[in-house]
């Protein structure tokens, strides 16, 4: 990961792997990519905006333009066009290698004729031996160069396709990730990309070799003393190949698509079972989990067996045509040789040529199989890349003014999630003046987090309902909007790197003193000091080596280090004890003085010092005022205070 940071400068920046060494590094560490994607998808629903807000430069300047260009481009065509010169040179090398290789039967046939007519001699053995050695060396060198270039270009495609997919994932909205599981997304970047890469590298190698070798063999046979009627009879079985392709091709492609989809389902099931293994063990439900995973594995087995039956029949039928052609050549050619219709050397040459044809025919079968299977994967990838982002930046979007504190205003906001008939928010109105601290409280599911999502444009609110700095959020650039907000969710996602890297997520070049200060403000400094490696302590996956309260405080420190004009705390201290919470709130009041802060909480103690408190219920604002004003009204807030303590300090 350190190597990635040195190249990109910050998480979310554009990587700069270009040379062959970097490509090999990325390929050998593709497991890192898989883990990174899994981390991204898991965290998106809760904290994707932290990523974009922490690195506003990664937000596209125009999502509309990006979406249009992406829908108009094709993944494989782009790659081939950008590497057309390399592929052309590789094809030339492979073609030259196979032309040289096709001379082998001709030389051996002439040697046979000379041996039959003049007998064995040192000169003949040495001369023809050197010629055959030159043929073998020339073929090996040229074929090796062509194969290397093809496979290198294939690895480049694999590497850059995965980067492009990951970048596309970062532009998709939360609704997409809610509909698609992690396993399906991993299947795109692992299985589908690999299938296309194998088709590019192996397919081009084998197609070039097979086609050039076939043409060369036919040309060599035509210039030798081989009767035309023998050639015509030998070609007859090969005419069946186009009909075999027409019959098996669509079936292989359809069954390949089914296999890829079942692989995605299995990956998703495995990811879910592994993620919930602790719950499974605590409830002693290992057998049920085994059965659920087994169902997906059984579907893959059945689908793969259906595919194997088709591919095996297809790949066996093409070499069979070549073998049938060889049998005809031996029978008819042998009869012609016995009756003086052709020389012994020509008979040896034609049998070797036809024997040589069998392998290219088998390669053609492999290529067609590769192409049909990879087309299914390529279709899946292209369909994915054609999905437009949910959040599109306005054509004439303006940046948020950077000077001074920034206020918030919600005007008669009514919002419902896509594909949901129920309104999550209804006619919500309140404002946060620049530099104010406002608390937001309400029952679970009353719309508090939904309100934040519209503010951050995780989901677009109706126009004219949400304003930041006096400007409609729909008219602001995503870079400036999310760059001005530090969002700290309740279940703050931590990456499997060091504590320092997690806190410094918004600024990878932040000095240790800034990291330590943010940790002190989040009341996490003393805890980190007790760890053997301090701030360089590496966390487990998703930060599970820390307790719930510790994870929340590290996440809070990450938000405080950003020092954004607007800070949103979404129940971010719910897992810490009351004493620590009191200290954190005191630190926040001192640190955020003169800056806009929105605090969402269930504990009254986290809100009572706010300049104003807004109470939500069933998506509506039911109360609004200071702590004392709301207590005097005897409403929901007063009852919440009574439950937690006499004056709300409980």
Closest to 554 in 3D by CA, of 505, 603, 483, 482: 505
Token pair belonging to 111: 């040697």
**Cβ-contact 568, 484 below 8 angstroms:** no
At residue 462, the 3 state secondary structure works out as coil
Delineate the domains of the chain, giving CATH numbers in brackets.
60-385 (1.20.1560.10), 400-484+566-650 (3.40.50.300)
Sheet holding 471-472, edge to edge: 423-432, 408-416, 466-468, 471-472
Torsion angles phi and psi, residue 46, rounded to 5: -100, -35
The residue that leads in pLDDT, 468 or 269, is 468
| pLDDT for 609 beyond 70 | yes
Average pLDDT along the chain: 78
**Cβ-contact 613, 625 below 8 angstroms:** yes
Kindly report, residue by residue over 411-443, the tens digit of the pLDDT. Answer: 999 999 887 778 899 999 999 999 899 999 988
Across 385-395, average pLDDT? 85
What is the spatial distance between Cα 402 and Cα 622, in angstroms, rounded to a whole number? Answer: 33
Mode of pairing for the β-strands spanning 437-442 and 566-570: unpaired
| pLDDT for 6 beyond 80 | no
pLDDT at position 217 is 75
648: left (phi over 0), alpha (psi -120 to 50) or beta: left
Token pair belonging to 61: 């300047």
pLDDT band at 282, cuts 50/70/90? low
What is the spatial distance between Cα 199 and Cα 375, in angstroms, rounded to a whole number? Answer: 9
pTM: 0.65
The residue that leads in pLDDT, 424 or 350, is 424
What is the spatial distance between Cα 518 and Cα 553, in angstroms, rounded to a whole number? Answer: 10
pLDDT at position 56 is 47
pLDDT at position 472 is 92
**How far, CA to CA in Å, does 329 sit from each of 316, 348, 507, 648?**
20, 10, 74, 98
pLDDT at position 621 is 92
At residue 120, the 3 state secondary structure works out as coil
pLDDT band at 316, cuts 50/70/90? confident
| pLDDT for 467 beyond 90 | yes
| pLDDT for 39 beyond 50 | no
At residue 463, the 3 state secondary structure works out as coil
| pLDDT for 564 beyond 50 | yes
Number of Cβ within a 10 Å radius of residue 315: 17
What is the spatial distance between Cα 621 and Cα 613, in angstroms, rounded to a whole number? Answer: 11
pLDDT at position 568 is 92
Q: Which of 96-105, 227-236, 302-311, 319-328 has the lowest mean pLDDT?
A: 227-236
In angstroms, how far is CA 472 from the centroid of its own chain? 33
Token pair belonging to 626: 């200071």
pLDDT band at 366, cuts 50/70/90? confident
What is the spatial distance between Cα 599 and Cα 399, in angstroms, rounded to a whole number? Answer: 25
**Cβ-contact 469, 406 below 8 angstroms:** yes
Across 375-391, average pLDDT? 84
What is the spatial distance between Cα 470 and Cα 290, in angstroms, rounded to a whole number? Answer: 55
Q: Which residues pair with 398 in a beta bridge?
A: 476
Supply angle C-alpha 643, 647, 648, rounded to 5: 55
Tokens 């040529």 belong to 353
What is the spatial distance between Cα 441 and Cα 613, in angstroms, rounded to a whole number? Answer: 7
Closest to 255 in 3D by CA, of 314, 184, 200: 314
**According to the per-residue pLDDT averaged within each range, which of 111-115, 262-266, 274-278 is highest?**
262-266
Torsion of CA 570, 575, 577, 578, to 10 degrees: 30
**Cβ-contact 217, 356 below 8 angstroms:** yes
N- to C-terminal Cα separation, the chain: 44
**How far, CA to CA in Å, does 165 sit from each of 155, 169, 192, 459, 461?**
15, 6, 11, 22, 27
pLDDT band at 118, cuts 50/70/90? low
**Cβ-contact 543, 553 below 8 angstroms:** no
Kindly report, residue by residue over 507-541, the tens digit of the pLDDT. Answer: 888 899 999 999 999 999 999 998 888 999 888 76
Diameter over CA atoms, the chain: 122
pLDDT at position 216 is 78
Supply angle C-alpha 556, 558, 563, rounded to 5: 95
Long-range contacts of 423-428 (CB under 8 A, 24+ apart): 423/619, 424/450, 424/619, 425/450, 425/451, 425/454, 425/619, 425/620, 426/618, 426/619, 426/620, 427/620, 428/616, 428/619, 428/620, 428/621
Closest to 572 in 3D by CA, of 484, 455, 491, 451: 491
What Rg, from alpha-carbon coordinates, does the chain have?
A: 34
What is the spatial distance between Cα 640 and Cα 603, in angstroms, rounded to a whole number? Answer: 9
pLDDT band at 225, cuts 50/70/90? low
Consecutive H or E run containing 223: helix 204-223
**How far, CA to CA in Å, does 574 sit from each of 445, 554, 591, 596?**
16, 13, 20, 21
**Cβ-contact 406, 596 below 8 angstroms:** yes
At residue 383, the 3 state secondary structure works out as helix
Number of Cβ within a 10 Å radius of residue 148: 12
What is the spatial distance between Cα 386 and Cα 164, in angstroms, rounded to a whole number? Answer: 12
The residue that leads in pLDDT, 538 or 181, is 538
Q: Which residues pair with 598 in a beta bridge?
A: 438, 568
DSSP states along 518-566: HHHHTT-HHHHHTSTTGGGPBP-GGGTTS-HHHHHHHHHHHHHHH--SE
Alpha helices in 563-605 (DSSP H): 578-591
pLDDT at position 545 is 75
Contacts of 40 (CB under 8 A, 6+ apart): 48, 51, 166, 169, 170
Token pair belonging to 373: 């299977």
- For the chain, what percent of residues have pLDDT higher than 70? 84
Q: Which of 111-125, 468-482, 489-503, 601-615 has the lowest mean pLDDT?
A: 111-125
pLDDT at position 614 is 92
Handedness of CA 6, 63, 495, 456 (dihedral sign): positive
Kindly report, residue by residue over 146-169, the tens digit of the pLDDT. Answer: 888 888 888 888 888 888 888 888
pLDDT at position 120 is 66
DSSP states along 464-481: TSEEETTEEGGGB-HHHH
In angstroms, how far is CA 256 from the centroid of its own chain? 20
Across 479-489, average pLDDT? 89
**Cβ-contact 236, 379 below 8 angstroms:** no
């Amino acid at each position: 990961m350190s190597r990635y940071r040195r190249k990109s400068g910050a998480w979310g920046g554009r990587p700069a792997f270009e040379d062959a060494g970097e490509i090999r590094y990325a390929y050998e560490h593709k497991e890192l990519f898989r883990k990174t994607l899994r981390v991204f998808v898991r965290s998106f629903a809760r904290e994707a905006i932290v990523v974009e807000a922490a690195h506003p430069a990664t937000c596209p300047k125009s999502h509309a333009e990006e979406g249009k260009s992406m829908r108009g481009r094709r993944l494989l065509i782009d790659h081939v066009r950008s590497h057309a010169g390399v592929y052309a040179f590789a094809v030339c090398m492979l073609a030259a290698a196979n032309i040289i290789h096709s001379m082998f039967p001709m030389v051996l046939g002439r040697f046979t004729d000379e041996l039959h007519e003049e007998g064995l001699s040192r000169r003949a053995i040495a001369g023809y031996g050197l010629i055959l050695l030159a043929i073998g060396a020339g073929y090996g060198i040229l074929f090796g160069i062509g194969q290397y270039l093809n496979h290198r270009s294939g690895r480049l495609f694999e590497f850059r396709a995965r980067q492009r997919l990951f970048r596309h994932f970062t532009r998709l909205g939360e609704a997409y990730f809610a509909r698609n599981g992690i396993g399906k997304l991993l299947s795109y970047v692992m299985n589908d990309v690999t299938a296309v890469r194998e088709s590019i590298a192996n397919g081009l190698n084998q197609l070039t070799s097979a086609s050039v070798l076939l043409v060369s063999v036919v040309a060599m046979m035509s210039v030798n003393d081989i009767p035309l009627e023998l050639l015509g009879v030998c070609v007859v079985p090969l005419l069946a190949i186009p009909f075999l392709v027409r019959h098996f091709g669509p079936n292989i492609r359809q069954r390949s698509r089914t296999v890829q989809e079942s692989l995605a389902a299995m990956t998703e099931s495995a990811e879910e079972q592994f993620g919930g293994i602790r719950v499974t063990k605590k409830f002693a439900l290992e057998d049920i989990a085994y059965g659920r995973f087994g169902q997906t594995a059984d579907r893959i087995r059945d689908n793969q067996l259906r595919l194997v039956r088709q591919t095996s029949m297809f790949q066996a039928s093409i070499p069979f045509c070549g073998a049938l052609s060889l049998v005809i050549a031996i029978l008819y050619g042998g009869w012609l040789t016995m009756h003086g219709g052709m020389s012994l050397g020509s008979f040896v040459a034609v049998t070797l040529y036809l024997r040589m044809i069998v392998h290219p025919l088998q390669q053609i079968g492999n290529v067609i199989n590769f192409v049909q299977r990879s087309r299914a994967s390529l279709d899946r990838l292209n369909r994915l890349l054609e999905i437009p982002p949910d959040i599109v930046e306005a054509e004439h979007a303006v940046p948020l003014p950077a000077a001074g504190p920034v206020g918030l205003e919600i005007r008669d906001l009514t919002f419902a999630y896509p594909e949901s008939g129920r309104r999550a928010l209804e006619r919500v109105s309140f404002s946060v003046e620049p530099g104010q601290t406002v608390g937001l409280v309400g029952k679970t599911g009353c719309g508090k987090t939904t309100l934040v999502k519209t503010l951050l444009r995780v989901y677009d609110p109706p126009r004219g309902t949400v304003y930041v700095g006096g400007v409609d959020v729909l008219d602001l650039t995503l870079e400036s909007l999310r760059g001005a907000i530090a969002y700290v969710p309740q279940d703050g996602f931590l990456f499997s790197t060091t504590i320092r890297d997690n806190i410094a997520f918004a600024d990878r070049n932040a000095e240790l003193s800034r990291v330590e200060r943010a940790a002190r403000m989040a009341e996490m400094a003393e805890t980190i000091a007790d760890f053997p490696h301090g701030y360089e302590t590496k966390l487990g996956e998703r930060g599970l080596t820390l307790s719930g309260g510790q994870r929340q405080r590290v996440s809070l420190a990450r938000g405080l280090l950003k020092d954004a004009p607007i800070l949103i705390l979404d129940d971010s201290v719910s897992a810490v004890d009351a004493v620590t919470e009191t200290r954190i709130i005191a630190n926040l009041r001192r640190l955020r003085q003169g800056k806009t802060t929105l605090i969402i909480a269930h504990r009254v103690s986290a809100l009572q010092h706010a300049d104003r408190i807004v109470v939500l219920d069933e998506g509506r604002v039911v109360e609004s005022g200071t702590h004392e004003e709301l207590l005097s009204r005897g409403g929901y807030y007063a009852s919440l205070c009574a439950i937690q303590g006499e004056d709300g300090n409980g």
